[in-house]
Amino acid sequence: MPLLTPKENAMQILVTGGAGYIGSHTCVELLQAGHEVVILDNLYNAKESTLARIEKLGGKAVTFVKGDTRDRACLVRLFQECQIDAAIHFAALKAVNESIQIPLPYYENNVAGTVNLSEVMSEYGCKTLVFSSSATVYGDRNPVPFREDMPVGKATNPYGTTKIMNEQILADLCVSDPEWRVTLLRYFNPVGAHPSGELGEDPNRVPLNIAPIIQDVAMGKRDKLLVTGHDYPTPDGTCIRDYIHIADLAAGHVKALEHMVASPPGCEVFNLGTGKGTSVLELVEAFECVNGVKIPMEYAPRRAGDIAECYADVSKAERVLGWKTQYGIDDMCRDVWKWLHNLNREQREREV
Ligand code: NAD
Ligand code: UD1
């Protein structure tokens, strides 16, 4: 039997990692859709100032708990004090290269954190969870576009392995206990900022993905972009990825959650991407044209573990969730530029 009818019942949602990049944008969408939000974040890679941005854009206050998914006592207190209907579990370490150098903290944080959270949720009878997975689980053997029914591949790094392990753990949980509802969301490449320019990625750790590097070059914080590989079997020789606007990705979470609570229990998987591939050169060109800046580039050798093409088949999410992306590459480039300028202005104002 369905648990709730979406829209009729507002839910109180626990958002782990809710102060981070994807989590913060999703909190805004949840608040705007009428839900209540409890954020659990240890602020390892996020700033407390993000909470005020979420509340301003969401139009409502959130409850914030500074805490860790691995801290059982903290989770127990949270579930005792707040009536949580469902959780969206973003909290994780995400630096691919670092995960190769120091794998144990990745397994500990990403896998033990999920096990701990699921155990406490079970104890408190809250058995509805959305999990942040990644297109990385498709590995390097499946043909593009990636479809949810393709076999999960072998990850090329411990970070990717934690995503595969978590997917398996949560699927097993659903088999073991028929009351659980789990949705695994496989993100493609999230980029951009809130269209208002008032919220965006503001990490404590140095990001190594292409979008923040292009932004750093544009802001003069780095000399140039190193294009890692231009001899791939793609039209311009550079890798192709499926860049999805952060606002579309965030909206996908609300759709997935509302669909899940209205559906029978079990484990479901959805790709969240645009279905369109963009090469590194196309991305740079879009950024330059939209924002009127030059991004100096240099070709460099391929990066270990990269695949030539990665983009989603999004027909399942469109059909089942009624979700469709609204924004394109130009919007992603424009909104992130607006956000960076806002952030810069705030920093200057603090300095005077
Ligand atoms: P992020 O680092 O901005 O956000 C993660 C948040 O979790 C941070 O605020 C951090 O402080 C917090 N956190 C980390 N470990 C914690 C713990 N043990 N307890 C409590 N809080 C903790 O990252 P993001 O880009 O928003 O990613 C969110 C999720 O999406 C992650 O699970 C990530 O692996 C996944 N994902 C991200 C991408 C991407 O490109 N950004 C792609 C695919 C999947
Ligand atoms: C990477 C991770 C993936 C993770 C995802 C989101 C690897 C191998 N994969 O995906 O597991 O889920 O981030 O966090 O790290 N590029 C450059 N120059 C750079 C950086 C990147 O040309 O300085 C190119 C890359 O070769 C790639 C594209 O830009 O073709 C996108 O790179 P990136 O943003 O790191 O994302 P993915 O490799 O798709």
The residue whose CA is least distant from atom 30 of ligand 2 is 239
Check if 309 has its Cβ closer than 6 Å to any atom of ligand 2: no
**For 62-75, what is the mean pLDDT?**
98
The alpha carbon of residue 53 and the mean position of all alpha carbons in its chain are separated, in whole angstroms, by 18
Contact (Cβ atoms closer than 8 angstroms) between residue 250 and residue 29: yes
Residue 7 pLDDT > 60: no
Residues 232-245: pLDDT tens digits?
Answer: 999 999 999 999 99
Over range 108-122, report the average pLDDT.
98
- Of all ligands present, the nearest one to the C-alpha of 234 is 2
Q: How many residues does the chain have?
A: 352
What pLDDT was estimated at residue 6?
44
Report yes or no: 346 and 204 within 8 Å, Cβ to Cβ: no
Tell me how far the alpha carbon of residue 335 lies from the centroid of ligand 2, in angstroms: 20
3-class DSSP state of 303: coil
Measured from the CB, is residue 224 less than 6 Å from ligand 2?
Answer: no
Spacing, Cα 266 to ligand 1 middle (Å): 24
Q: Residue 210: CB within 6 Å of ligand 2?
A: yes
Mean pLDDT over 50-61 rounds to: 98
Q: What is the residue-averaged pLDDT of the chain?
A: 96
Residue whose CA lies nearest to ligand 2 atom number 29: 210
Coil vs helix vs strand at 320: helix
- State residue 9's pLDDT score: 75
To the query of whether residue 327 is one of the catalytic residues in this protein, the response is: no
Query: CB count, 10 Å around CB of 9?
Result: 12
Cα torsion for 122, 126, 131, 137, to the nearest 10°?
A: 40
Could you identify the atom of ligand 2 that is nearest to the CA of residue 310?
Answer: 39
- Regarding the beta carbon of 209 and ligand 2, being less than 6 Å apart is answered yes
Q: Is residue 108 over pLDDT 60?
A: yes
Residue 42: CB within 6 Å of ligand 1? Answer: yes
Region 51-66 average pLDDT? 98
**Which residues have a Cβ under 8 Å from the Cβ of 325 and sit 6 or more positions away?**
244, 245, 248, 274, 314
Percent above pLDDT 90 for the chain: 94
pLDDT of 86 above 60: yes
> Ligand 1, from 14, 27, 45: best to mutate by most atoms within 8 Å of Cβ?
45
Vertex 337, ends 40 and 201: CA angle to 5°?
15
Q: Per the omega criterion (within 30 degrees of 0), is the bond before 105 cis?
A: no
Q: Is the pTM of this model over 0.95?
A: yes
pLDDT at 82 over 70: yes
C-alpha distances in Å from residue 316, one per residue of 180, 181, 256, 296, 311: 21, 18, 11, 39, 14
- Which pLDDT value is given to residue 8? 61
Specify the ligand 2 atom closest to the Cα of 302.
26
* Pocket of ligand 2 contains residue 153 by CB under 6 Å: no
**What is the reported pLDDT for 299?**
98
Query: Cβ(161) to ligand 2 under 6 A?
Result: no
Confidence band of 345 (pLDDT split at 50, 70, 90): very high
pLDDT of residue 5: 46
SS3 breakdown of the chain: % helix, strand, coil, rounded to 5? 40, 20, 40
Ligand 2 atom closest to 136 (CA): 11
Q: Is 92 helix (H, G, I), strand (E, B) or coil?
A: coil
Q: Which of the four pLDDT bands, split at 50, 70 and 90, describes residue 168? A: very high
